[in-house]
A and B are shown apart, each in its own frame.
Chain A
Amino acid sequence: MAVSQEYFKTFRDLPREDWFVCGHRACQGCGEAIAVRLILKALGPNTIVVSPTGCLEIISSPFPYTSWAVPWIHVAFENAAAVASGIEAGLKVLARKGLLEKQKTNVLVLAGDGGTVDIGLQSLSGALERGHDFLYVCLDNEAYMNTGIQRSGATPFMCWTTTSQVGRVKRGNLTWKKNMPAIVAAHRVPYVATATVAYPLDLANKAKRGIETEGPAYLHVLASCPTGWRLPPELSVEISRLAVQTGFFPLYEIVDGEFRVTVEIPRRKPVAEYLKPQGRFRHLTDEDIAKIQEQVDRECARLGIP
Chain B
Amino acid sequence: MARRIAVEDSHAVALAAKMANVDVIAAYPITPQTHIVEELSRMVSDGEFDAEYINVESEHSAISACIGASAVGARCFTATAGQGLALMHEILFIAAGNRFPIVMAIANRCLSPNINIWGDQSDVMSSRDCGWIQIFAENAQEIFDLILSAFKISEDDRVLLPVAVNFDGFYATHVVERMDLPEEEEVRRFLPPHRTARYKLDPDRPLTFGAIGFPAIQFELRRQWEEALCNSKQVVKEVWQEFGRIFGRHYDVLEPYRMEDAEIGFILMGGSSGTCRVAVDRLRERGFKAGMIKLRLFRPFPKEEILEAVSRLKTLITVDKHICLGGLGGPLFNDLRSLFYGFQRRINVAGFIAGVGGRDIKVEDFEHMFEKVVKGEVSPEKHVFIVRGES
Contact = CB atoms under 8 A, between A and B. Distances in A.
Interface of A: 45-48, 50, 57-58, 61-64, 66, 68-76, 78-79, 81-94, 96-97, 99, 101-102, 105, 122-123, 125-127, 129-130
Given A88-B68, A126-B61, 8 more contacts: A61-B208, A72-B206, A85-B54, A86-B76, A90-B69, A93-B52, A122-B57, A126-B57
A258 B142 CA distance: 56
B interface residue count range (under 10 / 10 to 19 / 20 to 34 / 35 or more): 35 or more
Among B51, B64, B94, chain A packs the most CB atoms within 10 A around the CB of B64
B46 interface: no
Given A84-B68, A86-B68, A130 B73 contact: no
7 contacts: A45-B206, A83-B65, A86-B64, A87-B68, A89-B68, A125-B57, A126-B61
B208 A50 contact: no
B203 A86 contact: no
Among B57, B76, B91, B214, chain A packs the most CB atoms within 10 A around the CB of B57
B68 A82 contact: yes
B203 A126 contact: no
B68 A76 contact: no
Nearest to A19: B206
Contact of B71 (A45, A87, A92): A87
A75 B69 contact: no
Contacts of A101: 204
Interface in B59-107: 60-62, 64-74, 76, 90-91, 94, 98
B91 A93 contact: no
Interface string B192-221: 001000001111111111111110010001
A127 to B, nearest CB: 8
Contact of B56 (A84, A92, A126): A126
A83 B60 CA distance: 10
Given A50-B68, A73-B201, A82-B64, A90 B58 contact: no
A90 B74 contact: yes
Contacts of B221: 63
A105 B221 CA distance: 30
Contact of A63 (B194, B203, B211): B211
A51 B117 CA distance: 35
A76 B64 contact: yes
Question: What 5 A-B pairs are tightest by C-beta distance, nearest first?
Answer: A86-B68, A126-B57, A86-B65, A82-B61, A90-B74
A78 to B, nearest CB: 7
B203 A45 contact: yes
Given A61-B208, A90-B74, A123 B57 contact: yes
A106 to B, nearest CB: 9
Given A73-B71, A105-B203, A93 B209 contact: no
A64 B217 CA distance: 9
B159 to A, nearest CB: 20
A45 B202 CA distance: 10
B369 interface: no
Nearest to A73: B209
Contacts of B23: 90, 93-94, 97
A48 B72 contact: yes
Nearest to B218: A63
A90 B73 contact: yes
A86 B71 CA distance: 9
A216 B208 CA distance: 24
A129 B56 CA distance: 10
A68 B207 CA distance: 8
Contacts of A75: 64, 67-68, 91, 94, 98, 210
Interface string B205-244: 1111111111001000100000000000000000000000
B45 interface: no
Contacts of B12: none
A93 B51 contact: yes
A83 B65 CA distance: 4
B69 A86 contact: yes
Contacts of B208: 61, 66, 68, 71-73
B275 interface: no
B354 interface: no
A93 B214 contact: no
B52 A89 contact: yes
A78 B63 CA distance: 12
B26 interface: yes
Nearest to A84: B68
B202 A58 contact: no
A76 B142 CA distance: 34
Among A45, A50, A102, chain B packs the most CB atoms within 10 A around the CB of A50
Contacts of B338: none
A71 B211 contact: no
B211 A90 contact: no
A62 B212 contact: yes
A109 to B, nearest CB: 11
